[in-house]
Amino acid sequence: MSNWDEKRLVILNRDNYTCRNCGQFNPELGTVEFNDKIDGHVEIHVYTNHPDPYQADYSISQSRTGFTFHINFGNCWPVFPIMQVHHKKYINGKEKWDYENDDLITLCKKCHFNFHLNEVVPIYSTDNILLEEKMFLPVDTGLGRKHNCDEWTFIQLIGGGEYVLSDIKPTITMVIFDNENKIDAETEAKSTLDKFITNYFPRYSQKK
């Protein structure tokens, strides 16, 4: 692993694998934790990818219900937003991985692209003197994948390295990890799956 890859992982983990501008997240990169500031409950999202889509698993663990839910999407994969690490400033002569963590921030690819399209980045000398503010035109306009499907959709491999959009028939199972304050598992599982699809994959919730 390169120095930049190591630094990038540190920043992505610190930022909860979530774009600090728009709030999009990618549980394929690591554990994403949602904290309810009102009632203090925690919800943890993890996606485990696998070459065989039938073995891929999206799990949601809830402190509120005491359940961990496992969602299987069948013969397709979800497409998550690409996360990138943005330099809030540049320092002449400094390697991109040698910056302080506070100088770096997680942005999804779309927000990162739009930032460099519309905003300047300050450039400093090694003794912290502002030299100039400069626009760095975005050069990576692709999706960084083998397909061009939008995020928060599902794709299916049809052969020859070609992917197409796919419908889904998700199933959900649950594991009880806390026996306190249990609620009806079947009702909560259906509610969790419905909310999950509606919140993150709305084009599929409309097909009911």
DSSP code of 55?
G
For 136, counting Cβ atoms within 10 Å of its Cβ (0-12 exposed, 13-18 middle, 19+ buried), the class is: middle
138 in a domain, yes or no? no
DSSP per residue, 35-97:
E-TTT--EEEEEEE--SSGGG-EEEEEETTTTEEEEEE-SS-EEEPPPEEEEES-EETT--TT
110 is a domain residue? no
Q: Is residue 25 part of a domain?
A: no
Tell me whether residue 141 is in a domain: no
**Full residue range of the structural domain in which residue 77 is found:** 31-81+146-205
Q: Residue 19 has what pLDDT?
A: 98
Q: How many domains are there within the chain?
A: 1
pLDDT number for residue 71:
95
pTM, to two decimals: 0.89
How far, in Å, CA of 127 to CA of 177, rounded?
53
- pLDDT score of 13: 98
Residue 91, in any domain of the structure:
no
pLDDT of residue 78: 95
Indicate whether 112 belongs to any domain. Answer: no
For the chain, residues with pLDDT lower than 50 are 180
pLDDT tens sequence across 93-118: 999 999 999 999 999 999 999 999 99
Within a domain: 199: yes
pLDDT at 180: 47
In a domain, 38, yes or no: yes
